Amino acid sequence: LSLDTVRDFLTREEDTIVFSLIERAKYPLNRPAYDPVHFGAGAGQRLNASFAELFIRESEAVQSKSGRYQSLQEIPFFAHRVPFALAPPYNFTRELYLAAASVNVNDAIWSMYFSELLPVLTKNGDDGNYAVTVDSDLACLQALSRRINYGRYVAEVKFRDDQQTYTSLIQAKDRDALMKLLTSEAQEDVVKKRVEKKAIVFGQNVTLDGPIETGVNNTNQANFKIDPSVVYKLYDQWVIPLTKEVEVEYLLHRLD
């Protein structure tokens, strides 16, 4: 684990996030899937949960049973952990400090995704394809969660690289100073510009006629499957700040 390898991981996750957003944007908003009372006397109302929540709970139970959460890189949105039984265990290397390993911001990711991101990512409308729609929500949520909660690994590397400085700030519980020490504005700028460019490059229509368009000079956003500025904003306002919150929280438990 080094700063280069953890940054490589975050860079590769950008592709997963952008592709998953492109997939979600294929469907309209499909609002009834998120409304706890929509399905009348059905399971949703009995449990006071939306179709999306029920679908994600059930999907996570299957994935938990299949061993997904044996890897500390993956954190479920619903804490229930069905013991996994479908495959033999794998002996994952434990790079994280155990007392801090379960730090995560999945609750914040959940509310940001449904109340802030979905309304700007999708077009209004209802085509009734709720299962495929929320399946694509789950893919987005898992990618965002993996990326943001990977802040634990980034923090571990930063701690090991400068143990003395970090130890005194952790002992003083100095949140602001920790935040300042782990921040690299230059790096954040690179990340935001790169994801916006990925949205432009991955979100183009590919045809056999004409030259390959790089898209980068093409400012007509109607040509892209998702609005590149939405992806920039997603990183600027939520992904990076939440990752930093994870880093600080992890560090505060690093000496427990």
Q: Give the footprint of ligand PRE on this chain (CB under 6 A).
A: 7, 10, 154, 182-184, 187-188, 191, 240, 243-244
Distance CA 140, CA 23 (A): 9
Query: Smallest gap, in angstroms, from Cβ of residue 18 to ligand PRE?
Result: 15
Tracing tokens 């999708």 back to the chain, one arrives at: 122
Query: Smallest gap, in angstroms, from Cβ of residue 134 to ligand PRE?
Result: 27
Closest to ligand PRE by CB, 13 vs 126, is 13
Per the CB < 8 A criterion, the answer to whether 148 and 105 are in contact is yes
Query: Smallest gap, in angstroms, from Cβ of residue 241 to ligand PRE?
Result: 8
Q: What are the structure tokens assigned to 227, written together?
A: 């609005």
Residue with CB nearest ligand PRE?
A: 243
Distance CA 193, CA 196 (A): 5
Closest to ligand PRE by CB, 10 vs 52, is 10
**What is the four-CA torsion angle of 11, 220, 140, 44, rounded to 10 degrees?**
170
Query: Smallest gap, in angstroms, from Cβ of residue 157 to ligand PRE?
Result: 8
Closest to ligand PRE by CB, 74 vs 188, is 188
* Distant-in-sequence, close-in-space partners of 37: CB < 8 Å, separation ≥ 6: 44, 45
Distance CA 89, CA 66 (A): 10
Query: Smallest gap, in angstroms, from Cβ of residue 119 to ligand PRE?
Result: 24
What does the angle CA 100 – CA 106 – CA 109 come to, to the nearest 5 degrees?
Answer: 135
Distance CA 102, CA 50 (A): 27
